[in-house]
């Protein structure tokens, strides 16, 4: 399959509260620099619905459910945790509907044309870690970052997708400067760039792909598991530290955002379901650090 790159799906901190309510109910939301009292009221309604166990359903290209206060994700405080449709590359014949109960329990029904190899959407749980000063949270401030997931997805010969973490990092005030992906369950896709190295981190084997030489600022890096794991856990901090110490990330990098979901290309032209049944991020901070706030 052809390699691909994707634009970031950033919901900026200043725009999150103003964006999510309209999209959560199927409208086309446009990011803005603030939010109106009406949007804030709708946001409270979304959170209330989630607390009452009511599902959020959207078929909008930029549909968003949330924000949530979700105990399974460290740093989730009711403003920085969303489940997003992210149909960022719409094509003729493609459709997708997101149904979310929480950041750890959601599904999409997707119908993507047979034979398509370009990524159409990345439905995912999104957690923002950018600081209140609008800078990346330094990796040095984290004692640990681990994540667990469990999903169900189709396995037909016509399916083309992968399940992956999408992590955005930066240095200093340079937010979202680099995209780091961790592919955990690949069905037919090839990462952008070239395979440059192999790595074993905490006993887990990866192939390291990059769009440029190691150490280039802003280059996309994909860490692809040697064998598919539809459910499991990832030591995110150890993976990022390995990349940093081996020249694939600039020294002094910090964390902006962690997403997890599916990059979907094709379902063979028939509706199929991708479902997340469990998800969490556990982060602990070094002494004196406020790494999750």
Domain boundaries, the chain: 13-285
Tell me which of 94-103, 110-119, 217-226 is least confident: 217-226
Task: State the pLDDT confidence band at 39, using cuts at 50, 70 and 90.
Answer: very low
23 pLDDT higher than 50? no
Strand arrangement of the beta sheet that strand 272-285 belongs to: 56-58, 95-102, 105-111, 272-285, 142-152, 231-235
Q: How far is Cα 210 from Cα 188, in angstroms, rounded to an integer? A: 18
- pLDDT (mean) for 266-283: 98
The CA dihedral of 227, 229, 235, 240, to the nearest 10 degrees, is 50
State the average pLDDT for the chain.
85
Tell me which of 106-110, 218-222, 283-287 is least confident: 218-222
- The pLDDT score that the predictor gives to residue 48 is 47
Identify the residue with better confidence: 250 or 8: 250
Q: CB–CB of 169/159 below 8 Å?
A: no
Q: Which CATH superfamily is domain 13-285 in?
A: Glycoside hydrolase family 11/12, catalytic domain (2.60.120.180)
Task: State the pLDDT confidence band at 217, using cuts at 50, 70 and 90.
Answer: low
Angle CA(168)–CA(174)–CA(177) in degrees, nearest 5?
35
290 pLDDT higher than 60? yes
- pLDDT (mean) for 52-61: 88
- pLDDT (mean) for 218-246: 95
Q: How far is Cα 74 from Cα 292, in angstroms, rounded to an integer? A: 7
Task: State the pLDDT confidence band at 214, using cuts at 50, 70 and 90.
Answer: low
Task: State the pLDDT confidence band at 211, using cuts at 50, 70 and 90.
Answer: confident
- The pLDDT score that the predictor gives to residue 54 is 83
1 pLDDT higher than 90? no
Q: Sort 80 into a burial class: Cβ within 10 Å, 0-12 / 13-18 / 19+.
A: buried
Identify the residue with better confidence: 246 or 39: 246
Percent of the chain at pLDDT above 70?
80
Identify the residue with better confidence: 28 or 80: 80
10 pLDDT higher than 60? no
- The pLDDT score that the predictor gives to residue 219 is 87
- The pLDDT score that the predictor gives to residue 83 is 98
- The pLDDT score that the predictor gives to residue 216 is 64
- pLDDT (mean) for 193-207: 96
Convert 129-157 to b/e letters by CB count within 10 Å (16 or more is b).
bbbeeebbbbbebbeebbbbbebebeeee
2 pLDDT higher than 60? no
What is the SS3 assignment for the chain?
Answer: CCCCCCCCCCCCHHHHHHHHHHHHCCCCCCCCCCCCHHHHHHHHHHHHHHHCCCCEEECCCCCEECCCCCCCECCCCCCCEEEECCCCCCCCCCEEEEEEEECCEEEEEEECCCCCCCCCECCEEEEECCCCCCCCEEHHHEEEEEEEEEEECCCCCCCEEEEEEEEEEEECCEEEEEEEEEEEEEECCCCCCEEEEEEEECCEEEEEEECCCCCCCCCCEEEEECCCCCEEEEEHHHHHHHHHHCCCCCCCCEEEEEEEEEEEEECCCCCEEEEEEEEEEEEEECCCCCCCC
């Amino acid at each position: 399959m052809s390699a691909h790159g994707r634009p970031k799906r950033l919901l900026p901190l200043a725009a999150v509260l103003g964006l999510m309510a309209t999209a959560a109910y199927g409208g086309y939301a446009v990011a803005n620099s603030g939010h109106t009292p009406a949007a804030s009221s709708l946001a409270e309604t979304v959170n209330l619905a989630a607390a009452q166990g009511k599902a959020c359903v959207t078929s909008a290209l930029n549909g968003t459910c949330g924000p949530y206060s979700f105990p399974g994700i460290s740093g989730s405080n009711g403003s920085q945790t969303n489940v997003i449709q992210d149909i960022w590359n719409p094509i003729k014949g493609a459709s997708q509907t997101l149904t979310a109960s929480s950041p750890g329990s959601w599904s999409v029904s997707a119908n993507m044309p047979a034979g398509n190899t370009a990524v159409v959407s990345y439905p995912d749980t999104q957690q923002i870690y950018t600081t209140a000063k609008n800078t990346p949270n330094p990796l040095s401030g984290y004692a640990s970052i681990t994540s667990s997931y469990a999903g169900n997805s189709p396995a037909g010969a016509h399916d083309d997708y992968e399940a992956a973490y999408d992590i955005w990092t930066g240095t200093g005030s340079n937010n979202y400067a680099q995209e780091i992906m961790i592919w955990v369950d690949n069905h037919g896709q090839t990462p952008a760039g070239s395979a440059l190295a192999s790595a074993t981190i905490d006993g887990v084997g990866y192939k390291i792909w990059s769009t440029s030489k190691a150490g280039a600022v802003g280059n996309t890096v994909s860490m692809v598991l040697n064998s598919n794991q539809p459910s499991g856990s990832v030591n995110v901090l150890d993976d990022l530290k390995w990349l940093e110490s081996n020249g694939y990330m600039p020294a002094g990098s910090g964390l902006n955002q962690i997403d997890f979901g599916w990059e979907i290309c094709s379902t063979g032209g028939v509706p199929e379901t991708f479902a997340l049944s469990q998800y969490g991020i556990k982060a602990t901070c070094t002494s004196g650090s406020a790494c999750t706030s």
